[in-house]
Amino acid sequence: MATEPLVSIVTPCYNSAAFLERTILSVLSQDYPHLDYFVQDGGSTDGTKAILDRYSDRLRYASERDRGPADALNRALAQTRGEIVAWINADDLYLPGAVSTVVRHFAENPEAGVIYGHGTWVDAEGREIGPYPTAAPYRLGMLAAECGICQPAAFMRRETLAAAGWLDADLHFAFDYELWMRMSALRSFVAVPETLALSRMHRDNITIGKRREVFAENIAILRRHYDYVPVNWVYGYMSYRRDGRDQFFEPLRHSPLLYAAALAVGSMYNRRHLGRYWTEWASRLVGLARRRRGPHQSL
């Protein structure tokens, strides 16, 4: 690039003192020189503000009540001016060189509205759990099935974010997934091979701790944008309602009876696409049967 762009990073937080300092340092230690960092605190009472004060010469922050994480992000992003923007939650981490890597890829892909890399799941102590199931390369329509983009490993052009209408502040759990849906209709997404971030999974984070609400909100946005809810979402939600297993630390427990019931429940969600849903349900049933029988047994 003739002129290196300003990159703005924001972090929403609330009572996040346990992890926040490590997140801040992962941003401030990036080797990219044109970096703007803003933290939006929801009025924490746990020592978060003392951490923010400690780094106030290297970041900007506000502490005020908000309507939830998406509203906090919109408030924070409005305080920035970077051509490239991203957010990282208060328990996630950037890997060294992540920002400079992304800037290079945006320069090589001027048509891209979003650049995303790979992510790695870690636990509360920072121990590696495994790779995030990143979908790469990006495929048109892939978001209609699942979110294959690790949020802290995704960076956006500000103009694309603004054209999409920012985040939906009425959402509390699937606001990143829903934003990808809207932005993918406007500009291209490019997956890059580098691992850019660590996504922390622990029982107190929203994804695990609010599992029922996460499922419900994801199903709602799939219906809103695609008028279709895939079998994996229907069956996963029904499985959670049955046994409360989070399907991350506690893997989904398959049930033939519940999968049969998913045909009826999914048909209600997908009244206008019954043929598509029944075909998908039958195809997945064959796959489940093959896994249960093993590769050398016939159906």
Adjacent-strand bridge partners of 40: 12, 62
Could you list the beta-strand ranges (E) of 201-261.
Answer: none
Boundaries of domain holding 136: 7-200
Contacts of 98 (CB under 8 A, 6+ apart): 30, 117, 153, 194, 196, 197
**Residue found under tokens 């923010």:** 52
State percent of the chain over pLDDT 90.
91
Identify the pLDDT of residue 209: 85
Residue among 225, 263, 217, 215 nearest 141 (CA) = 225
In this predicted structure, the answer to whether residue 124 has a pLDDT above a threshold of 50 is yes
- Give Dmax over CA atoms of the chain in angstroms: 66
Is 215 part of a structural domain of the chain? no
For residue 15, list its beta bridge partners. Answer: none
Q: Which range has the worst mean pLDDT, 152-161, 246-255, 282-291?
A: 282-291
pLDDT, average across residues 202-214: 88
Q: Report yes or no: 25 and 52 within 8 Å, Cβ to Cβ.
A: no
pLDDT tens per residue across span 23-66:
999 999 999 999 999 999 999 999 999 999 999 999 999 999 99
Q: What is the mean pLDDT of the chain?
A: 94
Confirm whether 39 is domain-assigned.
yes
Q: Could you tell me if 189 and 88 lie in one domain?
A: yes
**Closest by alpha carbon to 242, among 262, 272, 271?**
262
294 vs 218: which has the higher pLDDT: 218
Confidence of residue 294 (pLDDT cuts 50, 70, 90): very low
Rounded to an integer, what is the distance from CA 211 to the centroid of its chain? 14
Q: Within this chain, do residues 153 and 20 fall inside the same structural domain, yes or no?
A: yes
For 249, the token pair is: 């630390």
Residues 62 and 184 both lie in one domain: yes
- Identify whether residues 183 and 232 lie together within a single domain: no
The answer to whether residues 261 and 130 belong to one domain is no
Which of 102, 113, 124 is CA-nearest to residue 197?
102
8 Å CB contact between 136 and 117: no
pLDDT confidence bin for 1, thresholds 50/70/90:
very low
Predicted local confidence at residue 63, as pLDDT: 95
Domain identity same for 49 and 155: yes
Q: Which residue has the tokens 């994480």?
A: 69
Q: Point out which residues pair with 121 in neighbouring strands.
A: 130, 199
Total domain count, the chain: 2
What tokens were used for 81? Answer: 């001016």
For residues 188 and 247, state if they share a domain: no
Based on the fold, state whether residues 62 and 188 are members of the same structural domain: yes
Q: How many CB atoms lie within 10 A of CB 64?
A: 10
Q: Is 256 exposed, middle or buried (0-12, 13-18, 19+ CB in 10 A)?
A: exposed
221 within some domain: no
133 contact partners, CB below 8 Å, separation of at least 6: 148
Confidence of residue 298 (pLDDT cuts 50, 70, 90): very low
Same domain, yes or no: 19 and 126 = yes
- 84-87 and 7-13 beta bridge pairing: parallel
Report pLDDT for 205: 83
Rounded CA separation 213/207 (Å): 9
Residue 208, in any domain of the structure = no
Residues 169 and 263 in one domain: no
Whether residue 216 is contained in a domain is answered as: no
Domain match, 146 and 276 both = no
pTM of the model: 0.93
pLDDT tens readout for residues 65-115: 999 999 999 999 999 999 999 999 999 999 999 999 999 999 999 999 999
pLDDT tens digits, 192-203: 999 999 999 988
- The pLDDT tens digits of the residues spanning 279-292 come to 999 998 877 666 65
The answer on pLDDT for 299 being more than 50 is no
Pair 76, 12: CB distance under 8 Å: yes
Please tell me whether residues 27 and 100 are part of one structural domain.
yes
Residue 207 lies in a domain: no
